[in-house]
Chains A and B, each alone.
Chain A
Amino acid sequence: MSLYRSFEVFSKALQQKKVTCYSATKHYLTKIKDSASLNIFIEIFDKEALARAKEIDKKIANGDAGKLAGMVIALKDNICFKGHEVTASSKILKGYISSYNATVVDRLLDQDAIIIGRVNCDEFAMGSGNENTIYDTVKNPLDNNKVAGGSSGGSAAAVSAGLCMSALGSDTGGSIRQPAAFCGVYGLKPTYSRVSRYGLIAYASSFDQIGPITNNIFDAKLLLEVISGRDPYDSTSSSREIHSKDLSSSGNGKKSIAYIKEHIENPGLDPIIKSYILNKIKELKSLGHNVEAISFPYLEYLVPTYYVISTAEASSNLSRYDGIRFGYRSDHNNDLESTYIKSRSMGFGKEVQRRIMLGTFVLSAGYHEAYFTKAQKIRRIIQDKTNSIFKEHDFIISPTTPHTAFDIGKKYSDPTQMYLEDIFTVHANLAGNPAISIPIKDSSLKMPFGLQLMSNHFKEKDLLEFCSSNF
C-alpha cells in the first residue's frame, strides 16, 4: 500500500479524509500480528495507539494537529517511554518500567505521532546482527534466513516490512545505518549532540545518537526536525536546530564529493557494490559535481579506536545494572558481592559481558595509557583529519557495509569478524559527523545494500537535500 510509504502522501490523504489515523493504526496492528514470526516487535501498544489515533483524528478535524499527526512510529527497545517496559533486549532489565519519557518521545508525542510499540535490538545496542537479544533473532523481511542487521535491527526491519511508517533507532558505531542498508530503507545518524540522549539507554555516551529510520528522505528530515534541538536534560545537546523549510531551498548546487580510495580497494568489499559505487561516482561527475579520490591514512585504526573507547564507556555506563535498585537480581546470593557477580553474570548476555570486560581492561591501572589514552589521541587525530577533509569537500561517499545482509548465525560465533562489520560506519561516530545510508537495489544482487554519505557537522540539511536530488 504505497499510501503508507510516504508520510507526505499519507498526510494529504488524511486532510482529504481518504484515510484516518485510526484506520492506519489498525492496518499496522494487523500487519504486525501477521509478521510475528519475524521477531521484530517485542511489545505492541495497541489499545493505547488506537485511543491516541482517535484523538489525533479529532485534532486533525479541528485543524490543530502537530507536524507528525498520524505518523505511526516504532521505538527501539532502548528508548524510554513513560509507563512502558524498556529492556534494551537484556535479561537484566526484564520487567523494568520507565518512569519518564525520553526527550525524543516527548517531542514525538507533542507533534502527535503514534507510538505503536517497541522493537527488538541487540542487547544494549551491542551487535551487528540483532542476534544478541533475549528475544528471538530478528529476521530480515526481504529474506528470512538473513539478519536484519544491528543493533537497530527491529527498527529497520519494521520499516522495511511495512509494520510502521518510520522508526527510531540509535547509532553508536553504525547501528542505524547498517540495518537500514540490510533492510533496504533510509537510516540517518545525526551529528553527535544534535538529538538529546536523555532517555536513551546508554551504550557509549560520546558516540550514541538517536536517529530516524524511514522509507524516504522527506520522512527522515521531518523526524529529525522534530527530535533535534537543545534539551536542558542533556548538557551535551546542541541548540542548533534544523528547519524543513530550509530543505526545499537550493538543492541543486554543484557539490564537491570525496571518496576514500582505501574504501573502494578494500578486499572485503563485494565487487558488485564496488562497481555500483564507481558507476555512481561517474554519474555524479557527469552531473557536474566534483568527485575526487582522497586518502585517509587512519582507516585501519577506526575499528580498534572505536572498540577501545566505546567499550570503556560501556563498562562504566553499565555499572548501574547491579541488581540493587531495579531490574534483574539473582536469587542465589548471600552478600553484596555475590549479588553483583551473580546478577550481572546471569543478567547480561555474552557479548555485553565481553565488552564490559574489554572496557574495564582498557581503563585499568597499567593499561590505561597504552589503550584508552592512546585511543583518545587517535580519535582526536581522526577528528582533525575528518574536519580537514570537510574543509575541501561537502560529502564523503562510501558503501555503508562491505556486503549485503549475511546469514543468521554465520558470524555469531566470531566477534572480531562481527566487529569488522562496522568498518565503514564507525568513522562518523568517532568524528561526530552526520551520515545517512541510502538504500540501493541492484538487479544483480538478491539483497539491497546501502550507500553512505557523510557530511560536515550540522550539515544534515545539505546532506538530505543532496540525497533527494541525486539518489
Chain B
Amino acid sequence: MNIKEKYEAVIGLEVHAQLLTQTKAYSNDENIYGAAPNTKTSAITLGHPGTLPVSNKKVIEYAVKLGLSVGAKIRKHNEYARKNYFYADLPKGYQITQDTTPICNGGVIEILDEKNKTKKINITRIHMEEDAGKSIHDLDPFNTLIDLNRAGVPLLEIVSEPEIKTGDEAFNYVMEVRKLVRYLDICDGNMEEGSLRCDANISVRIRGESKFGTKVEVKNMNSSRNVKNAIDFEIKRQIEVIENGGQIVHETRGFDAVKGITISQRHKEEANDYRYFPEPDLQPIEITKEYIEQIKKTLPLLPKELNTIYQREYKLSQYDSNLLIEDKETALFFNEICALTNNYKLAANIINGVIKSYLNENGLTITQLDISAKNIANLIDLIEGNQISNTIATSKIFPLLISSKKSPKKIAEENNWIQESDNTILKDLILQALEKYPEKIQEYKNGKKGLIGLFMGEVMKISKGKADPKITNKLLRDILEK
C-alpha cells in the first residue's frame, strides 16, 4: 500500500457568495464592484455614531432561492447576530451575520467524483451576512490602505459537510456552487474579483479510522484551480508531517498561489473569541410558507434538472450534457434551438463544436454571438435533410451566418452548396470519376477496398463537393461490386 492510499482526507468547504443586489445588505449604498475607493460609503457603512442597519429584503429572497435549489430547509424565524472582532476594514467592530439560526439548513449539491460518478455533498447550512471592507497591503510600501466600498456587501455563506475527499472533488464542488448561483442570477461567481470565495477545512486520517484528524483552515484560494492546488498541497503536507512523526497544528493557513504552498497565518489559540449575540438593531425576519411558494415559482430550470432533460429526453451523452450546462446562457441558447428542431444531438454538436470554438477564438461569450436560434435550427434542418454536408454547414455556411440576415438555406443556394442527391445524376458523376482509373477499379475488385476513398474524392472533386456523401458512397459500392 502506498502512502497516498494509507490516508484519506476529510474536507469541508465554506463558500462565500457576494450577492448581486442593487444596494448593500443593511444600507442604501450601491453594491458595485470596481468603483473608486471609499465612494460607496454612507455614514451607515462607515459605522458612524447613531447609525442603524436596515436589512435588504433581496438578500432574504436570494438566500431562499439558493436554499430551495439545493433542497434545504428554510427557517421560519430568522435572527441576526453580531460577530465581534476588531479589524481596520470592519467599521462597526462587528459583522452582522447569523449564528444559531441560519436561514437554510440541509440540502445537497451533486458533484462528479474521480470516477465521474455522481456524489452527493450535504450542505450543513447557508446563512446571510455582510462583507468586510478590503485591506490593501501591496499598494503602499509603508501603509495598509482600506477600501470600505465592499463593507456591508451582502454575502451568503454556504457551509458543506466534511464529505469532500480530494482537491478535484473540491474543485468540482466549487464549480457546481458557482454554476448554481449563476443560474439563479444571485452572484456572478467571479472568483478573481472575489465575488465567490472559498475557505477549506482540511484534515487527514488513516483510512478506516473513524476519528477526525486535527483540522487546518486554508484561506486565500482566489480561483477554482487554486482551491484544487491548495487542497492537494495541504493533504500532501499533512501526510508528510504525520509520516515524519509530527503532529498537525490546529491553525489557519493561507495559500501562496505563486509558490503553490500553504503558509501558517495564525494559530487557533490566538483566534478571536467572536462573542456572538443576537443583533438588537434588527427585527427577526419571519419567512412564511406563502413567501417560499412564491419564490419557488420564480426559480429557473437548474443544472440538475437540465441534465435530466438532456440525458433522458434528448438522449445526449453525459459529456455533451455537461458541456451545454456549464454556463447558463449556453444552456438557454440550446433550449431555444431545441424548441425549433428535434435533432438535439446535432444541436448539441453545433453548440459544443463550431460555436464554442468560434467563441473561444474570438474571446466572446455566447450572449455576444450574433446568430439567431432560428438560423441554427434551420442549419440543422439542412444537414438533417441531406441538403448540405456537415462540413459545408460548419466550415462554409456558419461563418457567413454571423451578423447576417440571410437564412442558411439562402446562403447555401446562393453559393450553390446544396448537395446533389439525385441518383441518376450521382451515377453519372460516379461513372465520370471511375473512367479516370480503369486499373484501380481492377485493384479494388481484387480486394484493395481502401481505394473507395480515392473514388469518393474524385466524385467530390467533379461535383465540387456537392455530392451527398452517404448516397454517393452507397451508389459507388453498388457500381463497383456489380
Contact = CB atoms under 8 A, between A and B. Distances in A.
Answer yes or no: do A and B interact.
yes
Contacts of B280: 204-206, 236, 313
A364 B275 contact: yes
Chain A, interface residues (CB within 8 Å), range: 35 or more
B49 to A, nearest CB: 4
A235 B50 contact: no
B214 to A, nearest CB: 19
A20 B122 CA distance: 73
Contact of B275 (A318, A322, A363): A363
B49 A316 contact: no
The residue among B49, B92, B146 with the most chain A CB atoms within 10 A of its own CB is B49
Query: Which residue, B46, B94, B280, has most C-beta atoms of chain A within 10 A?
Result: B280
A110 interface: no
Interface in A335-393: 336, 340, 360, 363-365, 368, 372
A235 B92 contact: no
B114 interface: no
B287 interface: no
Interface string A80-102: 10000010100001001011101
Nearest to B83: A316
Interface in A303-321: 312-313, 315-316, 318-320
B52 interface: yes
Given A198-B52, A316-B94, A320-B92, A236 B47 contact: no
A368 B52 contact: no
A83 to B, nearest CB: 13
A425 to B, nearest CB: 19
Nearest to A366: B273
B282 interface: yes
A372 B88 CA distance: 27
Which of B50, B55, B84, B93 has the most chain A CB atoms closer than 10 A to its own CB? B50
A324 interface: yes
Contacts of B282: 235-236
B309 interface: no
B49 A319 contact: no
Given A236-B282, A312-B277, A320 B50 contact: no
A146 interface: no
Contact of B93 (A320, A363, A372): A320
A468 B88 CA distance: 52
Interface string B136-175: 0000000010100000000000000000000000000000
B55 A86 contact: no
Nearest to A201: B49
Interface of B: 43, 46-55, 82, 84, 86-88, 91-94, 144, 146, 273, 275-277, 280-283
6 contacts: A99-B48, A234-B54, A316-B275, A324-B146, A365-B273, A365-B275
Please list the 3 inter-chain residue pairs (A to B) with the smallest Cβ-Cβ separation, ordered nearest first.
A319-B93, A363-B275, A205-B280
Interface of A: 78-80, 86, 88, 93, 96, 98-100, 102, 197-202, 204-206, 232-236, 312-313, 315-316, 318-320, 322, 324-326, 336, 340, 360, 363-365, 368, 372
